């Protein structure tokens, strides 16, 4: 996996961001010290230059997440903070509005460009079926396994339903940060365990992202 895309896989697999949210993240949305990420926008997959809010360079519409609860703040697990900081220094476009994952030009990275580079990593990991959405599902499953309440899961995922609105109010930034820390501790434990066969650990190893103990993929 190219260096400039490794963080994108981490944010999908351990934070649970959607593909369109990832590709619209900008430098001003991220705090490299605390790992805090403000999710307030998404970019569509296909270009529609006539649409309201279309990117003037690539023509893909930029808008708020699908629901009001899609606007949220999440945190990166501590083991990945150094990767986040390095990415901000080396791969993020310049200026507060610089894209976290820019394309080859200065506009948004295309989904095709992303998948052409993600596909070899999936195959190396023995999971050619693993989509970015699957990684997001894994992130939310991990959060649930680490004690997230229903309200906290809904808040971290950016999901909304009329029945859950009252519960959402109880999810706090401090709890999300603590949840990220617990997930990070689990990842660190995986990385120290020789020959760990945890599926997510294998994928991270395959893309070269803070690899777990080495595996033989031959």
**Which residue's entry shows tokens 């070899």?**
120
**Chain centre to alpha carbon of residue 101:** 11
Catalytic residues, which ones?
18, 133, 136, 159, 168
CB 204 within 8 A of CB 210: yes
**Contact, 169 vs 154, CB < 8 A?**
no
Question: Residues for the chain: how many in total?
Answer: 218
Phi, psi (deg, nearest 5) at residue 20: -65, -30
Residue 195's region, left for phi above 0, alpha for psi from -120 to 50, else beta, is left
Concatenated DSSP letters for 56-100?
TTT--BEE--SSGGGSEEEE--GGGHHHHHHHHHHTSPSSTT-BS
Q: What are phi and psi of 106, to 5 degrees?
A: -110, 0
Q: State the residue for tokens 């590709």.
A: 23
């Amino acid at each position: 996996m190219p260096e400039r895309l490794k963080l994108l896989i981490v944010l999908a697999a351990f934070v649970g961001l959607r593909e369109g949210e990832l590709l619209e993240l900008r430098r001003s949305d991220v705090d490299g010290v605390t790992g805090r990420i403000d999710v307030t926008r998404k970019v569509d997959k296909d270009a529609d230059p006539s649409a309201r809010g279309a990117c003037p360079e690539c023509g893909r519409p930029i808008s708020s997440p699908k629901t009001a609860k899609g606007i949220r703040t999440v945190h990166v697990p501590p083991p990945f903070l150094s990767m986040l900081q390095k990415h901000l220094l080396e791969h993020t476009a310049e200026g507060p509005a610089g894209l976290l994952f820019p394309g080859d030009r200065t506009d948004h990275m295309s989904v095709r460009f992303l998948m052409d580079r993600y596909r070899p990593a999936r195959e190396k990991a023995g999971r050619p079926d693993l989509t970015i959405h699957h990684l997001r599902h894994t992130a939310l499953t991990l959060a649930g396994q680490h004690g997230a309440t229903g309200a906290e899961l809904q808040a971290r995922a950016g999901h909304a339903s009329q029945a859950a609105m009252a519960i959402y109010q109880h999810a706090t930034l401090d709890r999300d940060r603590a949840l990220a820390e617990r997930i990070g501790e689990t990842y660190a434990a995986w990385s120290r365990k020789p020959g760990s066969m945890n599926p997510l650990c294998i994928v991270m190893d395959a893309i070269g992202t803070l690899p777990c103990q080495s595996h033989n993929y031959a």
